[in-house]
Chain A
Amino acid sequence: AQSVTQLDSHVSVSEGTPVLLRCNYSSSYSPSLFWYVQHPNKGLQLLLKYTSAATLVKGINGFEAEFKKSETSFHLTKPSAHMSDAAEYFCVVSRNTGGFKTIFGAGTRLFVKA
């Protein structure tokens, strides 16, 4: 079985400070991991993905995530938050079970204060 847990439902940071959104996963097989962002009244947009290549993955808008197998984590980071980063972020794990299924985390709402 596989699952994904986003450890914080809400994160609040000040503009210009670092962002850390935490994600832990559970998978019996080597997973593919993704981070998606959803701005208000918008569809989901892919930020970055990990598919067993480099463990440090760089995405759009200055975001990156590091796959740590020993910690079963895939935390999303950004060195300096911008007001436009305020959104909902979803950590996603997937594998082909023969009945394909993608598992989404519950989401983390990021607030950015001026």
Chain B
Amino acid sequence: GAGVSQSPSNKVTEKGKDVELRCDPISGHTALYWYRQRLGQGLEFLIYFQGNSAPDKSGLPSDRFSAERTGESVSTLTIQRTQQEDSAVYLCASSRQGAPGNTIYFGEGSWLTVV
């Protein structure tokens, strides 16, 4: 498709399990972002990729969170030993370049529920 694609769209997992969330950005977009949105809250920045490197990972909330990107394309956000407070929508976005003024296009999000 032409937009940012995320999978799974919904995930229910047990506390303590690991989860992987996948993002396929728009083709040709070098910048990729992960955000988290808890219920009723604004968006929380997690990590930014330029190409395959992550110049800004300051938003990752703990060392249980990690992300990688390969081939300047697909990115995977991994949450280890999930906790209930990890329940949120995880939004991926991409833009043509990681510079201000470039429109960021968002995926539909992956809804994660930790029970």
Contact = CB atoms under 8 A, between A and B. Distances in A.
Interface of A: 31-32, 34, 36, 42-46, 49, 51-52, 90, 94-96, 98-107
Nearest to A52: B101
B98 A100 contact: yes
Contact of B100 (A32, A90, A98, A104): A32
A59 B94 CA distance: 20
B55 A100 contact: yes
B42 interface: yes
Contacts, number: 65
Q: Which of B31, B43, B50, B100 has the most CB of A within 10 A?
A: B100
Contact of A51 (B31, B100, B106): B100
A37 to B, nearest CB: 11
A94 B43 contact: no
Interface of B: 4, 31, 33, 35, 41-45, 48, 50, 55-56, 58-59, 91, 93, 98-101, 103-109
A96 B69 CA distance: 21
A103 B42 CA distance: 10
A31 B108 contact: no
Given A43-B108, A43-B109, A100-B98, 4 more contacts: A34-B103, A100-B55, A101-B45, A102-B104
Contacts of B44: 104
A11 B84 CA distance: 31
Contacts of B42: 90, 104-107
A95 B56 CA distance: 13
Which 6 A-B pairs rank lowest in CB-CB distance, beginning with the nearest?
Answer: A51-B101, A32-B100, A106-B42, A44-B106, A104-B43, A99-B56
A42 B106 CA distance: 10
Nearest to A51: B101
19 contacts: A31-B100, A34-B103, A42-B108, A43-B4, A43-B107, A43-B109, A46-B103, A46-B105, A90-B42, A95-B100, A96-B99, A99-B48, A99-B56, A100-B50, A101-B48, A102-B104, A104-B42, A106-B41, A106-B42
A101 B54 CA distance: 12
A35 to B, nearest CB: 12
